[in-house]
């Protein structure tokens, strides 16, 4: 069976397509600080839930070297820095396709979610970090390495980001950035001025991708995107900022993802069926 896997810094989701065309997904598997131990746990969980795997499609936090199947940096999980998923292929006994987790989330939304039926779908995953993905004609767009537009610099003298840059979009709107700037975790944040600030930064990111890539739809995934009223604020700021296109040019449709938290694992499950 082909198994889709979405690896976060804290937990892992695994899933397969069921015989009715839906998905069987298991969430909450712990991401161990030890990379190898995690593989052994996963092997057990996969066999228990779905049987023997023939192919794993893994979406993982980055930055990644997709060709070498390696994690380059892992600031939130130091034991995972520099590891290679080739080692997992030996433990799990089957080949692995590695992808950027945000790419798979936007791919999942394109295949079966909010972006279904559109030719060019771009989106941010707004959570502990800010991921970006773009799907053109049903294929994930990589560029010459991989796109990481959550780290577009909005202010070269802005706050320091986990990636080492200053003033990235992520340094303003990720869960950690909201806490650093305003003193509270997003789930406890009630101050709508803070959410307006966050929405305006996200809107700026969407404006920039719109003029650079001109997608048909822009999908906002991840926990931050679920905050009530955020989408409306993003749209309002976006329309205030974007004047360059004439009315005849259809505006980019901005929407929240259909699968929000599960888009990544669904994208992983769907990936091999689409190539």
84 binds a copy of itself (CB under 8 A): no
Tokens of 32: 């161990």
Stretch that binds a copy of itself, among 19-27, 43-51, 106-114, 152-160 (CB under 8 A): 152-160
- Distances in Å between the Cα of 159 and the Cα atoms of 98, 173, 196, 203, 228 are 31, 11, 18, 18, 26
Smallest gap from residue 203 Cβ to a copy of itself (A): 8
Q: Are 6 and 104 in contact (CB under 8 A)?
A: yes
Please enumerate in sequence order all residues whose Cβ is within 8 A of that of 141, keeping only pairs 6 or more positions apart, or say none: 133, 134, 135, 147
The CA-based angle 269-73-6, given to 5 degrees, is: 15
- Of the two residues 3 and 147, which places its CB atom closer to a copy of itself in the complex? 147
Give the one residue of 1, 9, 55, 163 binding a copy of itself; rule: CB under 8 A. Answer: 163
| Long-range pairs of 38-46 with CB within 8 A, sequence gap ≥ 24 | 38/12, 39/87, 39/88, 39/91, 39/92, 40/91, 42/5, 42/12, 42/14, 42/88, 42/92, 43/91, 43/92, 43/93, 45/14, 46/3, 46/14, 46/92
Span of 13-21, 52-60, 201-209, 255-263 interacting with a copy of itself by CB under 8 A? 201-209
Residue from the set 13, 69, 200, 233 that interacts with a copy of itself by CB under 8 A: 200
Q: By CB under 8 A, is residue 209 in contact with a copy of itself?
A: yes
Residue 188 interacts with a copy of itself (CB under 8 A)? no
Matching residue, tokens 């990644």: 64
Number of residues that bind a copy of itself (CB under 8 A): 50
- Our CB check for a copy of itself shows the closer of 92 and 120 to be 120
Per-residue x/- marks for a copy of itself, 213-242, CB under 8 A?
A: xxxx--------------------x--xxx
Residue 153 in contact with a copy of itself, rule: CB under 8 A: yes
> Does residue 194 belong to the site contacting a copy of itself (CB under 8 A)?
no
> Minimum distance from CB of 16 to a copy of itself (Å)?
32
From the list 18-26, 35-43, 159-167, 219-227, the region that binds a copy of itself by CB under 8 A is 159-167
Backbone angles phi, psi at 84, to 5 degrees: -120, 135
12 vs 92: CA distance, rounded Å: 16
Cβ proximity to a copy of itself: between 190 and 193 the closer is 193
Q: Is residue 56 within 8 Å of residue 94, measured between CB atoms?
A: yes
117 binds a copy of itself (CB under 8 A): no
- In angstroms, the CA 222 to CA 225 distance is 6
Would you give the distance in Å from CA 265 to the centre of its chain? 10
Q: Which parts of this chain interact with a copy of itself (CB under 8 A)?
A: 63, 65, 72-73, 119-120, 132, 142-156, 163-166, 168, 200, 203-204, 207-209, 211-216, 237, 240-246, 248-250
């Amino acid at each position: 069976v082909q198994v889709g896997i979405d690896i976060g810094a804290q937990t892992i989701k695994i899933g397969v397509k069921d015989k009715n065309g839906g998905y069987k997904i298991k969430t909450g598997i712990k991401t161990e600080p030890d990379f190898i131990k995690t593989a052994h746990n996963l092997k057990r969980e996969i066999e228990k839930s779905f049987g023997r795997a023939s192919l794993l499609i893994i979406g993982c936090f980055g930055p990644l070297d997709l060709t070498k199947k390696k994690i380059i940096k892992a600031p939130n999980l130091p034991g995972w820095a520099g590891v290679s998923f080739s080692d997992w292929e030996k433990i799990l006994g089957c080949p692995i396709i590695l992808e950027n987790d945000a790419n798979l989330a936007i791919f999942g939304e394109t295949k079966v979610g909010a972006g279904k039926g559109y030719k060019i779908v771009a989106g941010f995953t707004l959570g502990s970090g800010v991921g970006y993905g773009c799907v053109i004609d049903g294929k994930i767009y990589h560029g010459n390495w991989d796109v990481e537009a959550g780290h577009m610099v909005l202010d070269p003298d802005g706050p320091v980001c986990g990636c080492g840059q200053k003033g990235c979009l992520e340094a303003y709107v990720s869960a950690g950035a909201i806490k650093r700037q305003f003193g509270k975790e997003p789930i406890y944040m009630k101050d709508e001025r803070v959410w307006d600030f966050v929405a305006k930064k996200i809107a700026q990111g969407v404006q920039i991708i719109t003029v650079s890539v001109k997608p048909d739809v822009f999908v906002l995934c991840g926990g931050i995107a679920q905050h009530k009223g955020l989408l409306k604020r993003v749209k309002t700021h976006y329309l205030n900022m974007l004047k360059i296109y004439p009315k005849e040019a259809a505006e980019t449709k901005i929407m929240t993802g259909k699968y929000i938290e599960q888009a990544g694992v669904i994208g992983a499950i769907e990936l091999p069926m689409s190539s």
